[in-house]
Amino acid sequence: MILKEGSARGFRAYTAKHLDDLLRRAGLGDEERLRIRAVATVLPFRTNAYVVDQLIDWSAIPDDPIYRLVFPQADMLPEPDVTRLAGLLGADAPNAEIQAAAREVRMRLNPHPAGQLDLNVPRVGDDPMPGMQHKYPETLLFFPKQGQTCHAYCTYCFRWAQFIGEPDLKFASDDVENLVGYLKKHPRVTSVLFTGGDPMIMSAPVLRRYLEPLLELEQLESIRIGTKSLAYWPQRFVSDPDADDTLRLFASVVDAGKNLAFMAHFSHPREMESPVAEAAVAGILATGAVIRTQAPLIRTINDDPATWSSMWRRQLTMGMVPYYMFVERDTGPQDYFAVPLARAYEIFRDAYASVSGLCRTVRGPSMSATPGKVCVDGVAEIAGQKVFVLHLIQARDPELVGRPFFARYDPTAAWLTDLRPAFADRFPFESSELPELLGPSDPFEPATVPHRLSA
């Protein structure tokens, strides 16, 4: 049953121009508001009335996790950069000067990590395929042009570069014919992931234009939609004017014999507490789709085992499948949000140990790094040496999937590139042959599979 709250959508977005007023609501002083606005010149800010009015506990500012999830913090960027930008804002400097200074900071924040611009963009002949990434043989990522914003932006988002108005940093395409043509030329692709931004920002007719042509492709086993909408605007599936049409579209995908998987981002248990979120989940599941949940481990927001075990149990009760705990990626304000890998493993282990077997579908902590998804399996002492035990859940080189390898234990390491190999002079994926992968039109031809990738 689809609940209705009225015929109008009722969505109200807040952007950087509303930020100062919202920060006044938080009771912050003039100087702190100015410094937060300075951070917002570098990193994108967007939220909406549902998040502001129903998810944030304004009496708990600044420690409230949802507030920290969507609002910039004054210490999120290096202090000299914030001071410089705050000075420009306070002096009413020309906008061009402010934007130039903000761009300088952005370019130091690794806006496209893990080879997204160089290694992940597929080519046919010498021509890059716009709006696509093809990192693993079986999975293609597609960035629909109309879905390159979100109902609200997460402060930790590794796709922040999609939202800052830099055309050279943005992935987007509305060429469905090109997508279908690429898939037909690459029959090893069995899964398409629509990502963004958030594809669920699109209306049902626009989403239908992307999904329906894929239903005729026998090679496709699954269609995935990466979305935060269940947390930030569950009304999309309940009371939006096209909510019913959207759910009928999902049912048609399932009826066509495709597995429709929602890769739902829930960063905190509170995002699942509202009745409208419960109704949205129930409505999607009723179409035959599956909802798999994932989120990064984020310092000051969900960096304790109790939060994760509570989140996984709640997801299971609602009919969703816990899927991934990610490590905060090496982009944007990583230093602010990152949890050391040793601590990340402890949090995952303690949370995992406190839930039933049905919740133990979750994997992590996992780094989506250049060679693939690297999972921290544990800490061990081998031959008198303390090491991290790791394996690749997914890899550019399929031969490496599932093979354990070792890194020297480092309590401060927060990312794969912080680690050094143990019992070997290099990791299995490291090689000087990396540039050779950039040339072929199909990087997944058997002749190129044995190449190794450096992190």
Q: Closest by alpha carbon to 230, among 221, 245, 241, 243? A: 243
Q: Which run of H or of E encompasses 284?
A: helix 275-286
- Listing from the earlier edge strand, what are the strands of the sheet with 290-297? 132-136, 139-142, 191-194, 222-227, 259-265, 290-297, 321-327, 363-369, 372-382, 385-395, 404-408
Q: What percent of the chain has pLDDT over 70?
A: 88
Q: Last residue of some domain: 238, 271, 288?
A: 288
Clarify whether residues 186 and 275 are in a common domain.
Answer: yes
Q: Which of 144, 271, 149, 255 has the alpha carbon at shortest distance from 201?
A: 149
| DSSP per position, 182-225 | HHHH-TT--EEEE-SS-GGGS-HHHHHHHHGGGGG-TT--EEEE
CB contact at 8 A, 243 and 203:
no
Same domain, 121 and 80: no
Is there a single domain that holds both residue 228 and residue 358?
A: no
Q: Is position 49 within any domain?
A: yes
Give the model confidence (pLDDT) of 333-389 as tens digits.
778 889 999 999 999 999 999 999 999 999 999 999 999 999 999 999 999 999 999
Query: Within this chain, do residues 52 and 183 fall inside the same structural domain, yes or no?
Result: no
Mean pLDDT to the nearest integer, 317-337: 89
Please state the domain count of the chain.
3
Residues 271 and 339 occupy one common structural domain: no
pTM: 0.89
Domain C-terminal end among 269, 288, 307: 288
pLDDT score recorded for residue 155: 86
Residues 347 and 251 in one domain: no
One domain, residues 70 and 205: no
Q: 93 and 31, same structural domain? A: yes
CATH code of the domain containing 197: 3.20.20.70
300 in any annotated domain: no
Asked whether the predicted pLDDT for residue 453 surpasses 50, the reply is: no
Please tell me the predicted confidence (pLDDT) of residue 1: 27
Position 213 confidence tier, pLDDT thresholds 50, 70, 90: very high
Q: Tell me the residue range of the domain where 159 lies.
A: 110-288
Looking at the fold, whether 219 and 230 belong to one and the same domain comes out as yes
Query: Region 160-165: what's the mean pLDDT?
Result: 62
* Same domain flag for 135 and 99: no
Q: Which residues pair with 147 in a beta bridge?
A: none
Decide if 371 is inside a domain: yes
CA-closest candidate to residue 258, choices 208, 227, 224, 210: 224
Contact between 404 and 365 (Cβ < 8 Å): no
Assign 92 a pLDDT band (cuts: 50, 70, 90).
very high
pLDDT band at 167 (very low <50, low <70, confident <90, very high): low
Q: Looking at the structure, do residues 344 and 262 belong to the same domain, yes or no?
A: no
Contact of 293 with 315, CB cutoff 8 Å: yes
Tell me: the pLDDT tens digits for 180-212? Answer: 999 999 999 999 999 988 999 999 999 999 999
Residues 71 and 217 in one domain: no
26-55 pLDDT, tens digit each? 889 999 999 999 999 998 899 999 999 999
Would 338 be classed as within a structural domain?
yes
pLDDT for residue 162 is more than 80 = no
370 found inside a domain: yes
Give yes or no for a cis peptide into 199 (omega within 30° of 0).
Answer: no
Mean pLDDT confidence for 46-65: 95
**How many Cα atoms occupy the beta-carbon half-sphere of 211 within 13 Å?**
30
3-state DSSP helix/strand/coil percent for the chain, to nearest 5?
40, 20, 40
Contact between residue 147 and residue 197 where contact means Cβ atoms under 8 Å apart: yes
Q: Is residue 442 part of a domain?
A: no
Domain boundary among the residues 86, 108, 130 is at 108
The answer to whether residue 188 is domain-embedded is yes
Reference 162, options 144, 153, 175, 149; nearest CA is 149
CA 232 to chain centre: 14
In a domain, 6, yes or no: no
